[in-house]
Structure 1
Amino acid sequence: MSSKQKDHYWLKSGIINVLQNFSGVFFGFAGFYILVRVLSKQDFGVWTLFMSVTTIMEAIRSGLIQNALVKYLSAADKSEHTAIISASTAISGMVTAFCVGLIFVFAPYLSHIWDSPQLVGIMYIYILVFISTGFLTQFNAVEQANLRFNGIFINNFIRQSSFFGFVLVCYLLDFQVKLLYLVWVQLGSVMISTLVAFSYVRHNFTFNFAIDRSWLGKLFGYGKYSFGTSVSSLLSGTVDQMMLGALLSPAASGAFNIAVRITNLIDIPGNAIAVVVFPQSSRRMEEEGKGAIKYLYEKSVGTTLALVFPGVLFLYLFSDYVIHFIAGEKYADSIPLLQVTLLYCLLIPYGRQFGTILDSIGKTRVTFLVVVGTTVANLALNYLLIVKYGVMGAAYATLISNILGFAVAQIILKKEVDVSLGNTIVYMFRFYPEFFEKYILPVWKKKTGQVDHTPKQ
């Protein structure tokens, strides 16, 4: 791949994934904003519990399958693709069947302990959604492994915007929304998205019913740690809010959630770059070795920090105005929470790319152990600090656990691929002039009629 092609790949893929992550956060936030107005408190509570359960189930399957499929498919010879996809699809089918069984068994139980009779019905309808998202996840992983992201962006946009559109129309027309309607809309949007995703990968998605057991073992062996990492990360991101609700009150959890939702906006570039880096790092590890991985880590973290830092600075300086604008004056207690959570936003790029790089070089077990360790530390610190400092204790606990995770990750990366923390800062400051020279200056010269006489390399 030439230097020009590499620049084009990073720019195009990065923009697509930033747009995808931004649209996800936007539709998620906007949908939340409307749902709390069109649903009763009881129905919104049931919907929140339903989404918590389904998010964990999706994370179980995605964590076990997606990264393993992307890693091996992006690095393997074309002749192996059918065997890899077939083995991955077989694992996906088995996990889906297992989770469907869990729904049938535990839906009545959850409905009973949460005193939510309608939860049983919506969970049973969700089985159809879950089966459809299994195919959608496979198609998106195959496209990502082939270093293409257009289809992923389009099908995700369709899925998110159609659900949001239904909620918005109900709100504008003052139409009574029932939870069953929301799940049926989920199903319709997922089915359309799945068809769109297939249209983008139909030439690359080759399947054979003769499953290769060796690939079955490789994919499952890799995926089991990635699965543990995904679930642990999910718990790590929600344990503070759950413990606030248990130890203090739902109101305290809500105040903290406001700060988390705002900082999620800052995390968009990190999510996007991680998606772009993972297949590249898997491929370059096979072709160029650990030297290329070291550069990818330092460059991707530096680029992410360059994109994140201005947003963190702005939100920190104007946190009171931001909170009042988004949530209103009654959530003034979220202002100091936001200021603390913004601090660990600067550490997230290091942790996210640590997982991406370690997974791409086959060290999923190490990633798993670090994430589990950070989650356990976060759990213990939350309990101790919430009891002592109240709602601010949750913010302090998450900050401290992120610092501990950052330190451990840097020690491991130094040993494995000899990364330099200083280089990430250098790449961060280099990003601004490089971006200006490559993408802003040529456009400005073209518009003003200036000719670039710089000799081509």
Structure 2
Amino acid sequence: MKIFNKDLYWIRSGFFTLLQNLSGVFFSIGSFFILVRILGPNDYGVWVLFMVTVTILETVRGGLIQNALIKYLASEENTEHPRIISASFTISAILTLICILLNLGFAHILSALWKAPELIPIFNMYCFTFIISGVLTQFNCILQANLKFKSIFVSSFIMQFSFFAYVLACFIFNFNIRLIDLIHLQMFNYTISAFIAYFQVRTYLSISYSLCVDWIKKLFHYGKYAFGTSVSAILSVTVDQMMLGAILSPVQAGAFNVAVRLTNLLDIPTNAVAVIVFPQSAKRIVTEGKEGIKYLYEKSVGTLIALLIPGIILLYLFSGIVVNLIAGDNYKDAIPLLHITLLYCLFTPYGRQFGNILDSIGKTRLTFLVVLLVTSINIGLNYLFITRFGVLGAAYATLAAHIIGFFIGQSILKKELNVSVRNTLIFAWQFYPEFYQKYIKKN
């Protein structure tokens, strides 16, 4: 079977990105399988709350510059690239310092809120990782803008494999794992991955050593709403776990995380297509206009729905077996949660591509306002539902927020690009016979 054919755009462009997401989910599930057994419910819940927090801080930094850097590197002349990259590194350095200060400041507050004093030393140690991960993020953005998904896959694979291999060795040889050991491991893995990414990106890494104020302003003004969007989006998918930890306990947050992790198995194609669509849409708006963007949105969403539906059905039918197999007997409470979180997946392609498409046509402020509104609704519903229904309330609240966000997003896209939900469903239906005719029967 010939993969890299000019007629197979989605496979050609997404092969290594999909492979990266597949390997990422495999190693994530594998590490999760081991950690829930080594750490126990309370320590695992503390680890979940820590990772949720640092993920938010990483998103704060990446959200301001990531989409802006990719967009301008993909659309501007090569002569401008050194100045764009230099401006991006400058903004990243400033944000890294801010994130480190926030990390140190929140350590004591969150450890008290979640009644987990062991959080303080691991928050403090993670400050060193922030510096390394900031450099790695810059390298990956440059590679993504140049559609070098294979290079991103290589560095990401090695980092994920190293973490998995360490916890697997500890599990096999019955070594004790402390939470601080996992932070040391992350620091080491980020360092190795950054070195590998450097050798992949150095061809494109032309830096201007002058202070590019004009590009700093341009990247900042484009990215400020994408920044707000990213922060609001990550809060939208993590606030339920954080509020469970504060209102109930880290154990409940850990149980909810089990359901979320299993649902993330279905996010592999969504994440892969999102990475591809953004730089492609930034180019299409210049060459084909809004009609090209409309087709790109409907086709990508339809393809994703077609890929997700079989997985949703299978995971729903065998949810009890999957939870017991992956997480063990301590997390049976995650089974009804999984039934609800699986429904999120039906709305994820619409929401994810909504933000990508609007950002690519310069509507970052509108994306930010929508995501901020939906996140605010999500936070309010989570507080009301958790206090009333317990851990199940978090799942119902987040599902309700997804549904509200879907209707808001589609009404905006209808006005901006004349996007049709009906067309996405038609593309989804056509995907199966088209895939069979082109890629199975033909070969």
| TM-score, normalised with respect to structure 1 | 0.89
Q: Distance in 2 between matches of 1:300 and 1:402?
A: 19
8 Å Cα contact 2:269-2:304 kept in structure 1: yes
Q: Distance in 2 between matches of 1:350 and 1:226?
A: 17
Match of 1:67 in 2: 67
Matched, 1:153 2:130: no
- Distance change >3 Å, CA 374–CA 83, structure 1 → 2: same
| 1:122-137 correspondence runs (5 A) | 122-137=122-137
Q: Distance in 1 between matches of 2:83 and 2:431?
A: 41
Matched, 1:412 2:382: no
- Distance change >3 Å, CA 166–CA 336, structure 1 → 2: closer
Q: Deviations over 1:229-260 (max 9, x none)?
A: 11111111122233334444545444433322
- Distance change >3 Å, CA 228–CA 142, structure 1 → 2: same
Match of 1:237 in 2: 237
Letter in 2 for 1:199: F
Matched, 1:222 2:240: no
When Rg is computed on C-alpha atoms for both structures, the one with the higher figure is 1
Letter in 2 for 1:314: L
Q: Distance in 1 between matches of 2:172 and 2:301?
A: 43
Match of 1:453 in 2: none
After TM superposition, give the deviation of residue 108 of structure 1 in Å.
5.5
After TM superposition, give the deviation of residue 381 of structure 1 in Å.
1.8
Q: Distance in 1 between matches of 2:415 and 2:56?
A: 33
Q: Distance in 1 between matches of 2:405 and 2:14?
A: 26
| 1:182-221 correspondence runs (5 A) | 182-221=182-221
What secondary structure does 2:15 align onto? helix
After TM superposition, give the deviation of residue 51 of structure 1 in Å.
2.3
Matched, 1:282 2:243: no
Match of 1:381 in 2: 381
What secondary structure does 1:14 align onto? helix
Q: Deviations over 1:169-197 (max 9, x none)?
A: 12212223333432222222111111111
The CA RMSD measured in Å over matched residues stands at: 2.3
What secondary structure does 1:7 align onto? coil
What secondary structure does 1:176 align onto? coil
After TM superposition, give the deviation of residue 58 of structure 1 in Å.
0.9
After TM superposition, give the deviation of residue 136 of structure 1 in Å.
0.7
- Distance change >3 Å, CA 388–CA 175, structure 1 → 2: closer
8 Å Cα contact 1:25-1:265 kept in structure 2: yes
| Structure 1 unaligned blocks of 5 or more | 444-457
- Distance change >3 Å, CA 375–CA 6, structure 1 → 2: farther
Letter in 2 for 1:327: A
8 Å Cα contact 1:13-1:148 kept in structure 2: no
Match of 2:302 in 1: 302
| 1:170-181 correspondence runs (5 A) | 170-181=170-181
After TM superposition, give the deviation of residue 120 of structure 1 in Å.
4.6
Q: Distance in 1 between matches of 2:106 and 2:335?
A: 39
| 1:273-422 correspondence runs (5 A) | 273-328=273-328, 331-422=331-422
After TM superposition, give the deviation of residue 119 of structure 1 in Å.
4.5
| 1:76-95 correspondence runs (5 A) | 76-95=76-95
Letter in 2 for 1:382: N
Q: Distance in 2 between matches of 1:109 and 1:251?
A: 19
Match of 1:435 in 2: 435
What secondary structure does 2:442 align onto? helix
Match of 1:449 in 2: none
Letter in 2 for 1:321: I
What secondary structure does 1:198 align onto? helix
What secondary structure does 1:419 align onto? coil
Letter in 2 for 1:364: T
Match of 2:426 in 1: 426
After TM superposition, give the deviation of residue 5 of structure 1 in Å.
5.9
Match of 1:448 in 2: none
After TM superposition, give the deviation of residue 316 of structure 1 in Å.
2.4
After TM superposition, give the deviation of residue 131 of structure 1 in Å.
1.0
Q: Distance in 1 between matches of 2:407 and 2:107?
A: 41
After TM superposition, give the deviation of residue 124 of structure 1 in Å.
3.9
Q: Deviations over 1:272-292 (max 9, x none)?
A: 100010000001111211111
Deviates more, 1:257-266 or 1:173-182: 173-182
Q: Deviations over 1:321-374 (max 9, x none)?
A: 333333345644433332222222111100100011011111111111111111
After TM superposition, give the deviation of residue 105 of structure 1 in Å.
4.6
Deviates more, 1:399-408 or 1:119-128: 119-128
Deviates more, 1:40-49 or 1:271-280: 40-49
Q: Deviations over 1:127-184 (max 9, x none)?
A: 3221111111111101111112001111111111101111111221222333343222
Match of 1:455 in 2: none
After TM superposition, give the deviation of residue 376 of structure 1 in Å.
1.2
What secondary structure does 1:82 align onto? helix
Q: Distance in 2 between matches of 1:66 and 1:180?
A: 29
Q: Deviations over 1:196-242 (max 9, x none)?
A: 11112111111011132221111111211111111111111122233
Q: Distance in 2 between matches of 1:317 and 1:117?
A: 40
Q: Deviations over 1:3-61 (max 9, x none)?
A: x8653442133222222122222222222222233346665455444323321221111
Q: Distance in 1 between matches of 2:202 and 2:67?
A: 20
Match of 1:14 in 2: 14
- Distance change >3 Å, CA 18–CA 41, structure 1 → 2: same
8 Å Cα contact 2:163-2:186 kept in structure 1: yes
| Structure 2 unaligned blocks of 5 or more | none
8 Å Cα contact 2:49-2:250 kept in structure 1: no
Tell me: higher relative CO, structure 1 or 2? Use CA pairs within 8 A at least 6 residues apart: 2
Q: Distance in 2 between matches of 1:45 and 1:319?
A: 21
8 Å Cα contact 1:87-1:211 kept in structure 2: yes
